[in-house]
Chain A
């Protein structure tokens, strides 16, 4: 385990496995492929710094920082 990382800490190019979904958006996010144990890849960051786009379940989903800072993940090489 690499300590407690949040999904909002993940930078473009990094991959992470979702440990627990405690975001207020968890219902919506799980429908989009952000489920426990899923590996997501951070693909893009907006030029203004937010939102960030993640590859989850084969689709590219953009999420705002405040909606993902409660999701704990572990970094995957």
Chain B
């Protein structure tokens, strides 16, 4: 018998639009499509926020019924009201508090037995609960038939059946909420619960309301899982899948990137003319166009198209249910490094954007393992670093060509670099868990949800919208100021040289030890706001341009680089440092927000940097030995 204590201090801000708006808690087990119900009800009228004092996120949204509006609060998925993590504590506290006026509990129609215990527990706290049985279509496919009316009778609460993915049934929820508001509210304190009796009661209810096959896990799914997690095909499929996603990202982003680049470029002359017509001094016009606008356009043109491909693909995999299988396959390796399998997922998110990966670490329950995942996230390259890695490996190693074979070779080279990044992630995680973040691996339970057909249309639209907003926001807040600073550094001269050149000269001796040169290191440092601009900065400095220019082709790039002393060794060291250096400013700020600690943010800055410097120096040393 366990005792649930409740009523903690949870008071996030809820803004009612009207006096009689209701605050509705959206509860349910993980993996029941709660998110889909939330999105289906609130559409775009939602935002994500944090619970104060905790790095637990909650989405809040608004929807209207016939009579009034409702503020829907999506609380973390939980199996029971006994909290085993910060997320579940927040869920429990919120439900037990007097803030929500009613609760909508989402259940998976294909597995009512597992979902009902939570419903029964919540029922003991408040009578104002509406049951939303989701995934009715999946249940039908499995031959499971639920008598919603009988279920409602047994439980004494309104039951709404729905297929949230297509929006079916959602409009009935507001009516159900209104009907429970008629009940007198009697918030009872949370009581002791015993899982066996809850399951027994659930079984009793199900025997009266559910008929048909009770197997949620079909033979087809089992066979698929046997292959995807099998000794023979498990890892090869993951590897090939990774390569495929990279290939799609590269191919899908190529043309849009070029298009955006030339579109932005075509605006340069008109903007200059306009500013000049305002009688602004020439320096200001130049700084605005060649500094701010150039860097802004570079960041958007390089970052937006790949993210618009990568993240929808990633979300599709997530909807499909494949991602937990990846965590399942990788868990042991991560456990040996003192971390947990879910870090594999945050690492994958980091391929798209390290900042998104850092936020994604919330899926890891143990705070220690969450920190490990956050601090090592920047060891893998993000979408912004792909172009540099690809073009350098193409011109120095693979051979630049056109056509299908060369794009496959690009994806392969990128995958190789990523594998190196993954290995260093393991090494760094192991190091952390032996030193700064010592501790035993936490307990680990991972649910492998049934495979579900992803809702392609909605996923893609929502994902692209999110990514576009993110990139644009970042471009304005980070890239624009950076562009100004870079322009100033390159165009203000002291003596014969620009400030940038002085800086590069200063860094040169140290950089040479790492197999780089002062210009490259300066470019990395100036690329702190955005990794996309590092290689363009190098080119700019080499061509004494004073402003970022367009890369006019692979052979041009090769001649510029070799004219400045680049060898394949330099390219290797560049790629290594690209994989292992400080996180970009957006990622660092995200880590600061997530950890609420300067100490760990500093660690996030230093860890990959130190690794990078040492590795580059070592590789440089070895290559020098070999080549002489």
Contact = CB atoms under 8 A, between A and B. Distances in A.
Interface string A27-58: 11111110111100001111111110101011
B442 to A, nearest CB: 10
A71 to B, nearest CB: 13
- Most chain A CB within 10 A, of B113, B229, B324, B333, is at B229
Interface stretch (B11-19, B77-85, B151-159, B372-380): B77-85
Interface in B181-195: 195
A51 B331 contact: yes
A11 interface: no
B331 A50 contact: yes
B234 to A, nearest CB: 4
Nearest to A57: B114
A19 interface: no
B443 A46 contact: no
B445 A63 contact: yes
Contact of B231 (A37, A43, A47): A47
Interface in B216-258: 216-217, 222, 225-226, 229-231, 234-235
Nearest to A48: B332
B446 interface: yes
B445 A25 contact: yes
B407 interface: no
B444 interface: yes
Contact of A55 (B113, B217, B324): B217
Contacts of A53: 225, 229, 328, 448
Interface residues of B, number: 42
B329 A58 contact: no
B445 A29 contact: yes
Contacts of B79: 28, 31-32
A70 B355 CA distance: 40
Contacts of A59: 111, 114, 216, 447, 449
B612 interface: no
Contacts of B328: 44, 46, 51, 53, 62
B82 A27 contact: yes
B217 A60 contact: yes
B117 interface: yes
Nearest to A64: B444
A10 B90 CA distance: 36
A33 B118 CA distance: 12
Nearest to B226: A44
B599 interface: no
B446 A61 contact: yes
Nearest to B230: A47
B79 to A, nearest CB: 5
B335 interface: yes
B225 A43 contact: yes
B558 interface: no
A30 B2 CA distance: 11
B272 interface: no
A9 B26 CA distance: 40
Contact of A46 (B80, B215, B329, B447): B329
Contacts of A57: 111, 113-114, 199
B196 interface: yes
A62 B114 CA distance: 16
A51 B226 contact: no
B444 A61 contact: no
A30 B226 contact: no
A58 B448 contact: no
Nearest to B448: A60
Contacts of B324: 62
A47 B235 contact: yes
B113 to A, nearest CB: 6
A9 to B, nearest CB: 18
Interface string B313-332: 00000000000100011111
A38 B113 CA distance: 13
Nearest to A35: B196
Contact of A24 (B231, B331, B341, B443): B443
Nearest to B450: A60
Of the listed residues B216, B226, B444, the one surrounded by the most CB atoms of chain A closer than 10 A to its CB is: B444
Contacts of B58: none
A42 to B, nearest CB: 12
B444 A47 contact: no
A52 to B, nearest CB: 10
Contacts of B332: 46, 48-51
Interface of A: 24-25, 27-33, 35-38, 43-51, 53, 55, 57-64, 67
28 contacts: A27-B82, A27-B84, A28-B443, A28-B445, A29-B445, A30-B196, A31-B82, A32-B79, A32-B445, A33-B114, A33-B199, A35-B196, A43-B222, A44-B226, A44-B229, A45-B229, A46-B234, A46-B328, A47-B229, A51-B341, A58-B110, A60-B225, A60-B450, A61-B447, A62-B324, A62-B331, A63-B445, A64-B331
Given A31-B79, A36-B196, A46-B234, 11 more contacts: A24-B443, A32-B445, A35-B195, A44-B226, A47-B231, A55-B217, A59-B111, A59-B216, A60-B448, A63-B444, A64-B444
